[in-house]
Chain A
């Protein structure tokens, strides 16, 4: 009985009640606008971060552009040394590769998945170059089979580097 006596119909609402009711959709609109603003800010921050990553990658690719001709030259000289059975020449080029690949590893970053793949290829080639260089010290060992795996991995990582460089040096900032 008490409940029934205290209940109101909608047409019995006061003007203050109506203002409260109207405030609910306004609050929802406000909430939506805040969310949209926050999302735009996050998108802008992400875009800025992407731009920084892209610019850094571009700088690294420019640095590598200077080193690539030297790498290619080393590969050609190594192949020439193998062809003419020049043991000393092959060892010299393998040492040169180790030194140059070490420089490139310093430029590339281990944070980028594509660059990690190249870094692993470079590390493999450097380690195989070391094994081959030691094997070539034995004057009885054949030159070609003594550095065949090292040569293959050097050529493979050179190709990977070229592909990465081609992709990153032509992308617009």
Chain B
């Protein structure tokens, strides 16, 4: 099924672009009614990312789904990967990509870094960057 393979490649290309732009804070993700699912909306399309942890013995590992929605909210493209796929050498980088994207997206949508920084400042706790010796 070449079409499915092409779509998978397209979804991976989207994942890389999303990771880059999320890191650069060029895009803003939003929370949804599902705590593990985050949304990025454009004018006539959207991206949903979902992550679930706790299904594996290894902590911090899980399953991730990236979905491309059309203007009616139907799934136009989907890429799904789980920790069990890491055994395959071809899938391991894709798993890392989606896991990294999910964690970045979660941080972006929930503003975790900013929130932590603020509460640390309010409580007078040194942040990691402040407590690290600057050398010299």
Contacts and interface: CB of A to CB of B under 8 A. Distances in A.
Given A110-B44, A120-B42, A123-B46, A132 B71 contact: no
Nearest to B71: A105
Interface string B45-74: 110100000000000000000000101111
A116 B43 CA distance: 6
Contact of A131 (B34, B43, B44, B72): B34
Q: How large is the interface on A (under 10, 10 to 19, 20 to 34, 35 or more residues)?
A: 20 to 34
A119 B72 contact: no
Interface string A81-119: 000000000000000001101100110001000001001
What's the dominant secondary structure at chain B's contact region? loop
Contacts, number: 70
Given A102-B71, A105-B71, A126-B71, A131 B33 contact: yes
B71 A123 contact: yes
B34 A130 contact: no
A110 B42 CA distance: 11
Contact of B32 (A110, A119, A126, A149): A149
Given A147-B33, A150-B33, A130 B69 contact: yes
Contacts of B73: 98, 101-102, 126-127, 129-130
B33 A123 contact: no
B72 A120 contact: no
Interface of A: 98-99, 101-102, 105-106, 110, 116, 119-120, 122-124, 126-132, 134-135, 145-150
Interface of B: 30-34, 37, 39, 41-46, 48, 69, 71-74
Given A98-B72, A123-B44, A134-B34, 20 more contacts: A102-B72, A102-B73, A106-B71, A116-B43, A120-B42, A120-B43, A122-B71, A123-B41, A123-B46, A127-B39, A127-B41, A129-B73, A130-B48, A131-B37, A131-B39, A131-B48, A132-B32, A135-B33, A148-B33, A149-B33
Closest 7 CB pairs of A and B: A102-B72, A119-B43, A130-B73, A126-B73, A127-B46, A124-B41, A131-B32
